[in-house]
Amino acid sequence: MILALGETADIEVVLDETRDPVMGPSDHVVADWITERIPYTTDLKPCRCIGFRRRSDNQLLYGGAFNEFRGRDVQYHAACDDPKVLTRTRIALLFGYPFEQLGVTRISCVIAASNSRSRQVVEGLGWVYEGTVRKFYSDTEDAKIYGMLRSECRWL
């Protein structure tokens, strides 16, 4: 289902409200779009996704995927072609899903050590650096682990 946020008439939310407990049609579209953009990511499925796209040409500008739900924790993956789309209201929507709808205590995010841009974005949003996993992606690529606790989330 597509919902308009009303902040910007040309940007709409891509959010699948199907009753399918695993994935709906929009989840597949957004997950594939994210996978094309994140190095070392081959498959996010099954997952639930939230995207933002330009209404005028249906071009996705942002996609966030939540997978590996463990009750207290869920993994988060994201890609963004236009950071301007991440307004306070949209960021609140992104954090609201795992913390309010899923009821998790924390969200985890793993980022390639060489991806300094993504690391800066998550740190700016309030994620906490939790450690390095050596040679996680390849013999030359470590991973940085970030976490966000519900109690730390300033977007709710």
Ramachandran category for residue 126: left, alpha or beta (phi over 0 → left; psi -120 to 50 → alpha)? left
Q: What CATH number has the domain spanning 2-152? A: 3.40.630.30
- Closest C-alpha among 34, 56, 11 to residue 109: 34
Find where tokens 């966030």 sit.
64
Per residue of the chain (156 residues), give pLDDT as tens.
444 444 567 899 998 877 666 788 899 999 999 999 998 888 899 999 999 999 999 999 999 999 999 999 999 999 999 989 999 999 999 999 999 999 999 999 999 999 999 999 999 999 999 999 999 999 999 999 999 999 999 999
Beta bridge partners of residue 3, listed in sequence order: 13
Whole-number pLDDT of residue 39: 86
